Amino acid sequence: MEYLINKFLMNFYKITESDSNYDILEKKSIKQLLEIINSEDQTVAFSVKKEISKINTLITKVIEQLKIGGRLFYIGSGTSGRIGVVDASECPPTFGVETDLVIGVIAGGDRAIRKSIESAEDDTNQGWKDLLKHNISSNDFVIGIAASGTTPYVIGALENCNKNKIPTGCITCNPGSPISLISKYPIEVVVGPEVITGSSRMKAGTAQKLILNMISSTTMIKIGKVLGNKMVDMQLSNEKLVDRGTKMVMDSVGINKNEASKLLIKYKSVRNAIKNYKK
C-alpha cells in the first residue's frame, strides 16, 4: 500500500503546496500583512459554499448512522487532527451528548494535541489501529481530515474502514487526492495557495474548521439537540453557562430570572425546565 501511495504522489500536484501569490513578506508592514491575510481569508467561505451539496450528502449519511447507534469519528494528523479533536470535544458541553458520540483521533495520540509529532502521520497502519481502540464498527462514520489529501495515517485508516464496510468521508483542499479517491463521501474545498507557501494551518485549516462546524452543528440540530435556536441540552458546567441557561428559560416561557433559576436548579437542564414549566 505504501508503494502505491508513493507512486501516486510522484505525479500528484498539490495546490496547497503551490507558491504564494505574495513575496518578500518580511519587507511588508504589519498592517500590510494583516490586510493580505484577511483578504485571502475572505475567499475561504466562498470556496466552502461550492461544496455545500457534497456536505449535505455527507451529513445525511452521518445522521443515518447515528440513528442506528453509530458514532462520528474525525481522524487526522497535525493541524487537521487538532481541528477534529477540538470540534469533537465541544459537542458534549454544547449539545449534552455522550463523550463517545463524536470522537476525534489524532496521529501521535493526545500528546500530539499540544506538542507537534508530525512524523506520526507517516504510518499507514496506525490510523486503523487507533480506530480499533474504540471498537469501530459498520454502524459508525469516519471522516478523514487532511489538507493535502495525502496523509498516510489517514489514507490507511479510511482504506481499512472501506474493507470493513464502515462509511467514510473526507475533507481535503486538493482535488483528486488519494484521500478523495478512497472516501465514499469526499469534500474537496479548494482554497488556493497559502499566504505563506505550504502553511496549510492558514486558509486550509480555516476551511476545515468551517466545514466541521457545519457537520457537527447541523447533525446535532437534526438529531434533536437544539430547540428553536437554543442549546437546550448544553451542560451547565460553570456560572456563565448556568446564566445563559437561565436566560433561555426566561425567554422561552416568559418568566423572571428568579423563577427561571429555580426551575433550572430543580430540573438540571434547560430542556427539562422548559418542558416542566407549570406542570
Q: Please compute, for residue 211, the number of CA atoms within 13 A of its CA located in the half-sphere on the CB side.
A: 41
Q: Which entry of 2, 26, 51, 90 is annotated as an active-site residue? A: 90
Count of Cβ atoms closer than 10 Å to residue 275 Cβ: 15
CA distance 121 to 151: 6
**185-188/168-172 β-pairing:** parallel
* 90 included as an active-site residue: yes
Distance CA 216, CA 233 (A): 15
Assess contact for 211 and 55: CB atoms under 8 A.
yes
- The pairs formed by 64-70 with CB atoms below 8 angstroms and a separation of 24 or more are 65/139, 65/140, 65/141, 65/167, 66/101, 66/141, 66/219, 66/223, 67/223, 68/139, 69/139, 70/137, 70/139, 70/140, 70/141
Active-site option among 40, 51, 121, 188? 121
Phi (first) and psi of residue 206, to 5 degrees: -65, -45
End-to-end CA distance of the chain: 62
Cα(79)–Cα(16) distance, integer angstroms? 14
DSSP state of 230: B
Nearest to 131 by CA among 148, 147, 153: 153
Question: Which residues have a catalytic role annotated?
Answer: 90, 121
